[in-house]
């Protein structure tokens, strides 16, 4: 791996930086866990798409720029450095899209990907169920074949932003008597079909960032199946690999938070140095964020040569989720009582975003597969240890 950028990569960085300077909203958008914020973030997706910045690694005919992973990392670095809005369609762009690229038919790619890039279809994830969270093999929701349709019954839960999303990708049991990871099928379905009921679930901050979804004899065309019938486990494991391994959380996100943490420490150094552990935590946060970036560049270089991400995706997921927690816990310690200021509080200034980040970081060790499950994967698949 060469730790130097080519002239082409430098030119791309300059282009992205200039575009972001011209287009990133001057004021932060409302939370995308509100109806107005969701609409504002959808419009941002459309703005990105007008310059093919919504999904830079996709082929041009599907709405992308046809760039490689190194260029994607450059784009992400400039995106986060510019303070651009969070991506409301991250489930679609970063999780479902790579899965569609690998397992979808040409017709499915042409049907779904351009609308996803344009922000016309915002996607939610439908894996978790009551009794089947990180243990997806316990899924019980059924999709029974009836001619050229599946009839779906059951319930999904903890579906992020499903309250306002347009489509859902989910895993359903197509062989009613099957057990564990057998007999599951990956299905794509619009959330406005008859028989679907969506109920919001409030987050810690009171906003309906999650939802539970109920299916009552919902009919979905067979052509909405991704991959073969009964192949759902294999396909969803590929999606989970994308989620944990590379695309969902680029290192630039954590590098930007680490830089902000260093600035926060410098601005409050007199009080922060009263506890030597704070300085050590700030230093460790910055070093870990840089180390994660270098490790990701190494992974991207390996993938460019034809390599694949395997069980190591679990190590990535544990690393970035615990790093995010450390950075926000350290910020809370620096701020002291001021850490309780919400972003919209009159005197919050630029402090309030730390509490939002701290609350969200609590979910990091849980979503995308709990860290406990990831440690089991590392033990069994990477280290070859016996199953407990």
Provide the pLDDT confidence category of residue 166 given band limits of 50, 70 and 90.
Answer: very high
pLDDT of 307 over the 90 cut: no
> What confidence tens digit (pLDDT) does each residue in 173-208 have?
998 888 788 999 999 999 999 999 999 998 877 888
- Spatial separation of the C-alpha atoms in residues 86 and 265, rounded to whole Å: 25
> What confidence tens digit (pLDDT) does each residue in 227-274 have?
999 999 999 888 877 666 666 778 999 999 999 999 999 999 999 999
H or E element, residue 148: none
* pLDDT (average), residues 91-108: 93
CA 205 to chain centre: 20
pLDDT of 84 over the 90 cut: yes
User: What is the reported pLDDT for 134?
Assistant: 64
pLDDT of 350 over the 90 cut: no
Decide if 43 contacts 51 (C-beta within 8 A).
no
User: What is the reported pLDDT for 244?
Assistant: 66
Least confident range from 110-114, 131-135, 353-357: namely 131-135
User: What is the reported pLDDT for 1?
Assistant: 63
User: In this structure, what token pair is assigned to residue 272?
Assistant: 């922060």
* pLDDT (average), residues 344-367: 82
**105 vs 381, higher pLDDT:** 105
User: What is the reported pLDDT for 2?
Assistant: 67
Smallest CA-to-CA distance from 142 within 121, 117, 170, 119 is with: 170
Per DSSP, the three-state class of 317 is helix
274-278 own/partner pairs: CB under 8 Å, 24+ apart: 275/333, 278/330, 278/333, 278/334
Active-site residue list: 243
> What confidence tens digit (pLDDT) does each residue in 281-298 have?
999 999 999 999 999 998
Decide if 340 contacts 355 (C-beta within 8 A).
yes
User: What is the reported pLDDT for 245?
Assistant: 64
pLDDT of 162 over the 80 cut: yes
pLDDT of 150 over the 80 cut: yes
- Spatial separation of the C-alpha atoms in residues 127 and 183, rounded to whole Å: 15
pLDDT of 170 over the 90 cut: yes
Decide if 156 contacts 127 (C-beta within 8 A).
yes
Per DSSP, the three-state class of 296 is helix
**351 vs 11, higher pLDDT:** 11
Q: Considering the entire predicted model, what is its pTM?
A: 0.86
User: In this structure, what token pair is assigned to residue 110?
Assistant: 């042409």
Integer Rg of the chain from CA:
21
User: In this structure, what token pair is assigned to residue 324?
Assistant: 């995010």
Side-chain-facing half-sphere of 368: CA atoms under 13 Å: 32
User: What is the reported pLDDT for 197?
Assistant: 97
Share of the chain residues as helix, strand and coil, in percent rounded to the nearest 5: 50, 15, 35
**147 vs 313, higher pLDDT:** 147
- Spatial separation of the C-alpha atoms in residues 38 and 24, rounded to whole Å: 16
**311 vs 70, higher pLDDT:** 70
User: What is the reported pLDDT for 352?
Assistant: 76
DSSP strand pairing (123-126 vs 149-156): unpaired
Instruction: Share the mean pLDDT of the chain.
Output: 90
- Spatial separation of the C-alpha atoms in residues 41 and 37, rounded to whole Å: 6
Decide if 320 contacts 364 (C-beta within 8 A).
yes
* pLDDT (average), residues 320-339: 94
């Amino acid at each position: 791996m060469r730790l130097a950028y080519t002239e082409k990569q430098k030119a791309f960085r300059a282009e992205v930086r200039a575009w972001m300077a011209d287009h990133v909203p001057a004021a932060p958008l409302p939370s995308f866990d509100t109806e107005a914020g969701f609409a504002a973030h959808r419009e941002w997706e459309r703005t990105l798409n007008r310059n093919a910045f919504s999904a830079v690694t996709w082929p041009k005919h599907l709405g992308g720029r046809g760039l490689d992973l190194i260029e994607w990392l450059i784009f992400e670095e400039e995106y986060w450095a510019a303070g651009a809005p969070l991506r409301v369609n991250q489930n679609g762009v970063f999780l479902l899209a790579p899965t569609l690229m690998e397992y979808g038919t040409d017709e499915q790619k042409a049907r779904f990907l351009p609308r996803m890039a344009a922000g016309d279809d915002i996607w939610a994830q439908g894996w978790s169920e009551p009794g089947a969270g990180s243990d997806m093999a316990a899924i019980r929701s059924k999709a029974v074949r009836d001619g050229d349709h599946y009839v779906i019954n059951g319930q999904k839960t903890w579906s992020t932003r499903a309250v306002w999303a347009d489509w859902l990708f989910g895993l359903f049991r197509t062989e009613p008597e099957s057990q564990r990871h057998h007999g599951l099928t990956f299905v794509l379905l619009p959330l406005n079909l008859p028989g679907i009921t969506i109920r919001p679930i409030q987050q810690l901050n009171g906003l309906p960032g999650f939802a539970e979804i109920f299916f009552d004899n919902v009919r979905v065309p067979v052509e909405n199946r991704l991959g073969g019938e009964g192949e759902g486990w294999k396909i969803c494991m590929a999606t989970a690999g994308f989620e944990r391994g590379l695309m969902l959380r680029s290192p630039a996100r954590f590098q930007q938070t680490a830089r902000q943490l260093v600035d926060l420490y410098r601005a409050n150094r007199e009080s922060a140095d009263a506890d030597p552990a704070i300085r050590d935590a700030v230093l460790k946060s910055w070093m870990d964020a840089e180390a994660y970036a270098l490790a990701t560049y190494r992974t991207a270089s390996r993938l460019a040569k034809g390599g694949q991400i395997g069980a190591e995706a679990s190590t990535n997921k544990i690393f970035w989720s615990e790093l995010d927690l450390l950075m926000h816990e350290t910020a809370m310690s620096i701020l002291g009582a001021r850490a309780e200021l919400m972003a919209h509080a009159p005197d919050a200034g630029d402090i309030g975003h730390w509490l939002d980040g701290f609350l969200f970081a609590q979910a990091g060790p849980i979503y995308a597969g709990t860290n406990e499950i990831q440690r089991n994967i590392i033990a069994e698949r990477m280290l070859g240890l016996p199953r407990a």
